Amino acid sequence: MAEKIKIAITGHTKGLGKYLHDAFIADGHIVLGFSRSNGYNIKNKEDRERIVAEVNDCNVFINNAFNYEDWDNSQLDMLKDIYYSWINNKDKSIINMSSSASDLYPAPITVPGVPRYPDYIKAKWEQDKWLVTVRNFLNTREQVRLVNLKPGRALTEKTYDKWKDQKVLKTSDVYKIIQIVLKEKDIEFSTVTFKAF
């Protein structure tokens, strides 16, 4: 991906979002980050509206932030807001960071240290479901590029102690997939599930 682009990302100060934010900057791209720590809470409609206004000149929007305070559909709300703002711009791309965990819905699976994991699974499943619905109406050649990425477990500072000895994705693996999606503009990527092998 030699071309320099302007990228917006939510949830850029921790975990996967921080790695992606820093990796894009290291590769020479212009990156705007939106997190609670710098005054943007995707739970609040007004903050989402501010984000949409401030990313108007970006080429790529990475919808990464998940509301771990309320375990709700704020990430889906953010996705809808940016989608309807960018829908008719074929030169823009939206990458939604879902999770392979959504494939487990509606199983009431729990994970030690993650007390509301079933709520997480449901929220990610609802994102996937909405994306499938809108893709049926999306003319990919004339409208915004919409890609749903569903990584498996990824090693971040939040998950390091739990998963350091397991076969999981590295944050750099997720970055590689995003680079491929952005570089291959003539290939349509709809939903991409990937896990460590």
Structural domains of the chain, with CATH: 6-194 (3.40.50.720)
Give pTM, 2 decimals: 0.91
Q: Does the CA dihedral 131-94-193-167 come out positive or negative?
A: negative
User: Is residue 111 over pLDDT 90?
Assistant: no
- Residue 156: the pLDDT is 75
Per-residue pLDDT tens digits for 30-64: 999 999 999 999 999 999 999 999 999 999 999 99
User: Is residue 83 over pLDDT 90?
Assistant: yes
Could you tell me if 39 and 92 are in contact, meaning their C-beta atoms sit under 8 angstroms apart? no
User: Is residue 136 over pLDDT 70?
Assistant: no
User: Mean per-residue pLDDT for 85-114?
Assistant: 86
Could you tell me if 74 and 42 are in contact, meaning their C-beta atoms sit under 8 angstroms apart? yes
Q: What does pLDDT average to over the chain?
A: 89
Task: Report the residue count for the chain.
Answer: 197
Axis-axis angle for helices 117-135, 74-86 (nearest 10)? 20
Task: Report the chain's terminal Cα–Cα distance, integer Å.
Answer: 25
